């Protein structure tokens, strides 16, 4: 049986340096050093933190926003780009595990972008990457969906860790796939979404999803959400002069931690920039499983049979 660790974790709520990979990576490295100096062994960054979220898909029509797709592509990364190396080096120097969202360019197919979370070990190694399976709503104008090959749980130094991006934390089957692989630490990262319908409370929706996963799986969920900076607002005011009121809408973000009972622990943030911390003891995942262990005794696998295609999907397969 693997060791059940105790450790401190940090979650970041802030904005990227919009359309600037190098400056955003530098900002992330500074944060990694800060949280490490405060004792954190794991830090979670927001969705597509490197280095822009395509808000134009929501506030402009598809024709108006199309030109920004090219700009986003040119400010996106391959996972082995030299611009990302400081992240790996800083993780190694600080002995801190890092999960961070990036806009990832496909290494073969030009123009294809993925919403990707990188899982970086405390030794500075890329343990893996998760590509968001289904872009949400207007995001389909920007990202291509990933495949089942990235639905993995990683044996990190703090414990078995999995991650999903934003709305796919609503996907019960994706979440179960991670739970069934022994996930005990879940990273759920988001972007601030003030452009959602007015009846939709984004901060509450994030907490509901995180609480559901923590309670169902009897694990810890770490949530990291980005904010919308003054820089971003001014960027879009050139295209949509009335966007400020929309972007400054309250209750658009939540960053924090949920325990195996689905309860918020440690510090949390709504709307404001900052870094929050919590102490995690994985032995707290044990007792709740006596009541509801949906990957063990509290299920009927003679009735239910979940099958997951974990093969990478290719545009072409050659056959001799």
Active site residues: 47, 132, 166
CA distance 291 to 297: 9
pLDDT in tens, 109-143: 999 999 999 999 999 999 999 999 999 999 999 99
Q: Coil, strand, or helix at residue 296? A: coil
Q: In what order do the strands lie in the sheet with 113-120?
A: 126-131, 113-120, 97-105, 40-44, 6-13, 274-281
Give me the count of residues in the chain.
320
Average pLDDT value over all residues in the chain: 97
Q: Contact 150/78 with Cβ under 8 angstroms?
A: no
Going by pLDDT thresholds of 50, 70 and 90, the confidence category of residue 196 is confident
pLDDT in tens, 240-281: 999 999 999 999 999 999 999 999 999 999 999 999 999 999
Which helix (DSSP H) or strand (DSSP E) does residue 221 occupy? strand 220-225
Q: Coil, strand, or helix at residue 141? A: helix
Going by pLDDT thresholds of 50, 70 and 90, the confidence category of residue 1 is very low
What confidence score (pLDDT) does residue 39 get?
A: 98
Tell which wins on pLDDT, 147 or 196. Answer: 147
Q: Contact 41/96 with Cβ under 8 angstroms?
A: yes
Domain boundaries, the chain: 6-291
Mean pLDDT of 17-37: 98
Taking the domain 6-291, which CATH number applies?
A: 3.60.110.10
């Amino acid at each position: 049986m693997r060791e059940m660790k105790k450790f401190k974790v940090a979650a970041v709520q802030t904005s990227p340096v919009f359309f600037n990979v190098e400056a955003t990576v530098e900002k992330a490295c500074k944060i990694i050093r800060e949280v490490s100096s405060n004792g954190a062994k794991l830090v979670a960054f927001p969705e597509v933190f490197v280095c822009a979220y395509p808000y134009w898909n929501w506030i402009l029509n598809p024709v108006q926003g199309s030109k920004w797709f090219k700009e986003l592509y040119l400010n996106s990364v391959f996972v082995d780009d030299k611009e990302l190396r400081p992240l790996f080096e800083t993780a190694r120097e600080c002995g801190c595990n890092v999960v961070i969202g990036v806009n990832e360019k496909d290494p073969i197919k030009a123009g294809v972008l993925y919403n990707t979370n990188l899982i970086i070990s405390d030794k500075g190694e890329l343990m893996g990457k998760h590509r968001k399976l289904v872009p949400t709503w207007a995001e389909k104008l920007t990202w291509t969906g990933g495949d089942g090959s990235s639905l993995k749980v990683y044996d990190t130094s703090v414990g078995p860790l999995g991650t999903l991006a934003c709305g796919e934390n609503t996907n019960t089957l994706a979440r179960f796939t991670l739970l069934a692989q022994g996930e005990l630490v879940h990273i759920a990262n988001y972007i601030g979404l003030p452009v959602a319908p007015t009846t939709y409370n984004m901060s509450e929706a994030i907490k509901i999803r995180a609480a559901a996963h923590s309670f169902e799986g009897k694990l810890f969920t770490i949530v990291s959400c980005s904010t919308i900076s003054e820089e971003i607002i001014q960027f879009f005011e050139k295209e949509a002069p009335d966007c400020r009121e929309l972007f400054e809408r309250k209750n658009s973000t939540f960053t924090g931690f949920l325990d195996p009972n689905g309860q918020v622990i440690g510090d949390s943030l709504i709307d404001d920039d900052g870094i929050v911390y919590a102490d995690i003891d994985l032995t707290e995942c044990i007792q709740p499983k006596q009541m509801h262990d949906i990957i063990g005794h509290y299920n009927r696998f003679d009735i239910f049979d979940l099958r997951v295609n974990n093969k990478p999907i290719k545009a072409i397969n050659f056959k001799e």
